[in-house]
Amino acid sequence: MTSGRRVGWWLAWPRRTLWPTRDGWWCLGAALGLGFAAINTGNNLFYLLVSMLLGLIIVSGVLSEQSIRRVRVEPALPAELFAGQAALVAARVVNRKRWRTSYSITVEVLGGGHRAYLAKLEGGGARLVTWQETPRARGRWRVAGFKVATRFPFGLFVKAAQLPPSAEVLVYPAVSPISADRRRELAGTGGAPAPRRGRGHGLHNLREYRFGDDPRLIHWRSSAKSAALMVRELEADAGLDARLVLEGTGRGDPERLERGLAEAASLAVHLLEKGAAVELVGPGVHVPLGSGLAQRTRVLAALALFDPGAPAEPTRVVPPPSDARLRELRVPLG
């Protein structure tokens, strides 16, 4: 074998850890004691029993390797994670061997202590395992990795392989219902009708009554004209479009920074859900005005990745809103 091939083989060979269980220690102790007895008595049946114990240990090693070999864990992370909020995280455990079945596998999430036990995983098969995860802080987050372990077949040894993390997801700042003051402040500014169906005040359309419609929305005049019950469909009320301005650098007080970012995220989500367009401006951050789910993702991602320690770019001078419907909301970061 050339040195290159040897290195290649070494790299390709998966790293394993092997440690005896309590029963395994008993087995090793028995083998040692019997070996001692065999040497001292010269009794071949003792040698036979020692050989059997060693044979069991070897077969155990082969079968356990067979069980965890080519078993991969592919994390299936949710699209959105919010700091401090529990979410269901999944991973797909795949047996990439063609025919050989893996038995008695434990998949453990490193660092989290979550584990799942699979008694059997057929060759080529996959199983989805889920667990609850609560990210502590915003930013990039990835599963620390997985440990695939087995005590199969005899429970004498724990053989484990560590699989590195392979996917990451952005953890957005915590989003919570906005405070009553803010809500009043926003409500006080009134709203503008949006050209779509909603629960505002303006008339959007008239249609025939359907079972379950609010009787208060019956348009009696049209009903009288058409000899059929007609109801009003109302227009949606869109909030005022907003520019969120992050004030300060956030370098002084980390707690205040996180509070501010969480408030900004909550405001953005609230406004965007109301149908408003939102623009985000801050030190080193600028998300142009936009609305909808894509804008929500853009704003939250910008807030998740906000780094107060990054080289400070000069804040873009954004002209004051010329449109009266674009309201400026300031969020202090400290």
Partner 1 sequence: MSHFVALRLATLLLACDGLAALELAGLVSDAGTVAAALAALATWWNEPLRDRVNAVPGLARGFVLVAALASAVDLGYLAASMLDGLARLLLFLLLYRLAMRNAVRDLRDVAFLAFFMLVAAAPFTFGVGYLFVFLVFLVAGTWMLMLYHIAVESERATARPDAPVAGLGRDLLGLSLGASVATLAITGALFFVIPRIGQAALTLRTHTPRMVTGFSERVELGSFGQIETDGAIAMRVRIPEQAVGEPDRLPGLRWRGVALDTYDGRAWSVARRERSELWRSPTGEFELGRFQAMGPVLIQEVYLEPFGTDILFAAPRLLHLSVRANAIVVDDAGGVSVQNAAARFRYIAQSELESGASWSGEPLDGETRARFLQLPPLSAAVRALAREVTAGTRGAREAAAVLTAHLSGRYRYSLALRRTTTLDPVEEFLFVQRSGNCEYFAAALAVMLRSLDIPARVVNGFQRGEWNPYGRYFIVRLLDAHSWVEAYVDGAWATFDPSPRGSVEPGGPPAAVALYLDALRVRWYRYVVGWSLQDQVLAAVRLHQAALAWRLSAPDLRAWRALPRGLVMLAALVALLAVLLASRRRGAADARAALPTFYARALRTLARRGLRPGDGETAREFAQRVEAAVPPCAEPLARLTTAYEQVRFGIRPLTTEEATMIERSVLELRSRVAPFSGHPRSAAASRPPLQ
Fill in the DSSP letter of residue 296.
Answer: H
Residue 211 in the binding site for partner 1 (CB under 8 A) = no
Q: Does 76 bind partner 1 (CB under 8 A)?
A: yes
| Residue bearing tokens 């036990």 | 117
List the structure tokens of 113. Answer: 């202590």
Residues 242-271 touching partner 1, rule: CB under 8 A, are none
Q: Does 9 bind partner 1 (CB under 8 A)?
A: no
- Identify whether the C-beta of residue 193 lies closer than 8 Å to the C-beta of residue 275: no
Q: Residue from 99, 314, 322, 323 that binds partner 1 (CB under 8 A)? A: 99
Closest CA to 280 of 146, 222, 267: 267
* Contacts for 40-47: CB closer than 8 Å, 24+ residues apart: none
Q: What percent of the residues of the chain are helix, what percent strand, and what percent coil, each to the nearest 5? A: 30, 35, 35
Contact 15, 161 (CB under 8 A): yes
Q: Which one of residues 8, 78, 123, 195 is an interface residue with partner 1 (CB under 8 A)?
A: 123
Q: How far is the CB of 148 from partner 1 (least distance, A)?
A: 14
SS (H, E, C) 134-159: CCCCCEEEECCCEEEEECCCCCCEEE
Residue carrying the six token digits 């079968």? 63
Judged by CB under 8 A, the residue of 29, 124, 164, 288 near partner 1 is: 124
**217 within 8 A of 171, measured Cβ to Cβ:** no
Residue partners of 188: CB distance under 8 A and separation at least 6: none
120/316 with CB nearer partner 1: 120
The verdict on 222 binding partner 1 (CB under 8 A) reads: no
Q: Among all chains, which residue has been given the structure tokens 């019950």?
A: 229
Minimum CB separation of residue 31 from partner 1 in Å reads 11
Compute how many residues bind partner 1; rule: CB under 8 A.
52
Q: What tokens does 29 get? A: 């102790």
Q: For partner 1, which residue of 28, 56, 218, 236 counts as binding (CB under 8 A)?
A: 56
CB of 98 or CB of 210, closer to partner 1: 98
Residue 97's contacts (CB-CB under 8 Å, 6 or more residues apart) are: 69, 70, 123, 124
Q: For residues 125-184, which are near partner 1 according to CB under 8 A?
A: 125-126, 128, 151-155
> Interacting stretch for partner 1, rule CB under 8 A, among 113-121, 221-229, 233-241, 294-302?
113-121
Residue nearer to partner 1 on the CB measure, 61 or 308: 61
Interactions with partner 1, residue window 34-53 (CB under 8 A): 34, 37-52
CB of 297 to partner 1, least distance (A): 19
Choose between 92 and 207: whose C-beta lies nearer to partner 1. Answer: 92
Give me the least distance between CB of 168 and partner 1, in Å please. 15
How far is Cα 327 from Cα 294, in angstroms, rounded to an integer? 21
Binding site for partner 1 (CB under 8 A): 23, 26, 30, 34, 37-52, 54-56, 58-59, 62-63, 74, 76, 90, 92, 98-99, 101, 103-104, 106, 115-117, 119-120, 123-126, 128, 151-155
